[in-house]
Amino acid sequence: MSLFQVTRNEIEPPFSDPEPKGPYFDFHISCFVSSANSFGLIVNGCYEMEPFFVDHWNRHALPKAWCVGPFCLAEPDNRSNSNTTNGPIVLQPNNKALAWWMKWLDRKLEQGIPILYVAFGSQAEISSDQVKEIARGLEESRVSFLWVIKNRDLELEEDRFEDRGVVVREWVDQREILTHPSVQGFLSHCGLNSTMEAISAGVPILAWPMMAEQPLNARMVAEEIKVGLRVETCDGSVKGFVTRVGLSKMVKELMEGERGKEARKRTKEYGEITRKAMEEGAGSSWRNLGLLIGEICERKEA
């Protein structure tokens, strides 16, 4: 396990304060205490991704961590293809009709054009100036992209993207998009669920953390398991501004550069690891779930 440095700029107040205090801090402390006194932690990941960390935690910290994920692999894909194949896309018999953006991805697959998926989750607030800078950065990168925006009222000059990029302002099935074989990169806020969905699908990540534990997830992605690259803000802080030049450079590196190719290779390897961990009966996550249930039953009987 390698060590990586987390700076104060990447930690939000009040935890970045020398003497943190206040209701928000008190609430989190109560959560930490409750967690430490609980039976265990259910981890949305598999043991093989960070075995040294999991072993260290279970030896020196409380409560015990149970790796029983990734949760996104608990149910089969809605589509019969996966990101590791180049065959035709065939819907399962009971599936709904494809959304227009999925048809757009199908068309790009037929044209042999790789797609960057862009989404920043449902919680982070992004300023209109930053969103416009993202648009300009994507435009200047000349990379094809599918961008999901939660703010339906935000105005963008979408015609400037032509057919190279599309903006979706509706709810999407993110896992369905990430497992589409045309999607070869993910510009993400690095929320844990999104991170695990991307890794499980074999899609490398361009990490842009914005809040909470996302900077730590981004460090894991870019420095620990090296399944992606990192967008840097102007001042190095979590909420710092990202310029179109910096974004365009990193988008091109992820989608076309050597570092991106290496990250894509490693992500596919980790994707295979996560799938094996979830195999019924044999996978580590499957076995951990059985052990967890067994310990709960033993305590209940005692």
The per-residue pLDDT for 158 is 84
Is 14 domain-assigned? no
The tokens describing 258, both together, are: 């050597």
Instruction: For residue 80, give its domain range.
Output: 73-276
CB burial of 141-161 (b: ≥16 within 10 Å; e: otherwise) equals: bebbbbbbbbeeeeebeeeeb
- CATH number for position 238: 3.40.50.2000
The per-residue pLDDT for 125 is 86
Q: How many domains does the chain have?
A: 1
Is 140 domain-assigned? yes
Residue range 144-165: average pLDDT? 87
Is 37 domain-assigned? no
Is 265 domain-assigned? yes
Is 157 domain-assigned? yes
Is 49 domain-assigned? no
The per-residue pLDDT for 147 is 97
- Report pTM: 0.89
Is 24 domain-assigned? no
The per-residue pLDDT for 301 is 80
Residue range 291-295: average pLDDT? 95
Is 52 domain-assigned? no
Q: What is the pLDDT of residues 74-117, one digit of tens each?
A: 876 555 444 443 333 333 333 456 899 999 999 999 999 999 99
Task: Name the least confident of 8-17, 29-38, 270-279, 290-299.
Answer: 8-17
